[in-house]
Homo-oligomer: A and B are copies of this chain.
């Protein structure tokens, strides 16, 4: 039945046919009980509205389905107790592995739950203090790319709009932006820091762009922040890129399909998915030994939203 090696072709086919005729459905619970493997992989992401995670989940689901695994997702909306609950459920349900990017990376209870988690853990761009396979994004190189691109176009005043969440991406981006500015010989100025990536920033962006000496370029987070930024620009009658240049952090359908298309920092999603599946499968099969920590860079997708500074 299960493609075991060393079975006569004839027998195999006879069995398969009989199974089909009888409408036989293998029972996953019995299988899991006996084989001590649920063939279930859990994902815990902070935010289902972030297109990165949605797309990633879709790809992972596809890729892992090929290997016979079912992928489960939980989104915590950043709520601590939902994250704890999700990890507990993953443990109870006997996930064969989990992939996590929680909204809380230092909470002691989360750390403790993860330390005694009974299956392999893959951590995605979070500085959680546990031994686990990990992939982090290179936010410093990314900001160098974005700021460098704008500096080369003559922009000297750049407005960053990233949320100030307490996880790695938020923490790193601000430091990385400042470093990149200094690296380009520029001085960081005003900034907009929404509480979460899903906080609208209409008012704040409008205020930051209404002064006399307004920034000539922006680097903007690609979730809710980008729509409300575009809303503010339309309201101020500022055209992209004639009046202001724009780079999105994280690529999305919105950035690609906007008119004009918006230059964006993009992660190579297929590399991301490959790294995660390769690692997770190796762990499940017991092939991995050393903990793996990799860094993934962003690429700058140059589109039509940046232009030489008018200032």
Contact = CB atoms under 8 A, between A and B. Distances in A.
A247 B235 CA distance: 19
A25 B253 contact: no
Interface centre among A230, A232, A235, A257 (most CB of B within 10 A): A257
A72 B74 CA distance: 8
Taken together, the copies of this chain in the complex come to: 2
Given A61-B74, A89-B70, A258 B230 contact: no
Nearest to A91: B25
A257 B202 contact: yes
A25 to B, nearest CB: 6
Contacts of A25: 91-92, 118
A116 B24 CA distance: 13
A166 to B, nearest CB: 22
Contacts of A33: 27, 29-30, 33
Interface in A93-110: 93-94
A92 B254 contact: no
Interface in A1-40: 23, 25-30, 32-33, 38
A78 to B, nearest CB: 12
A54 interface: yes
A165 interface: no
Interface of A: 23, 25-30, 32-33, 38, 48-49, 51, 54, 57-58, 61, 65, 70, 72-75, 77, 85, 89, 91-94, 116, 118, 198, 200, 202, 224, 227-228, 230-235, 237, 253-254, 257-259
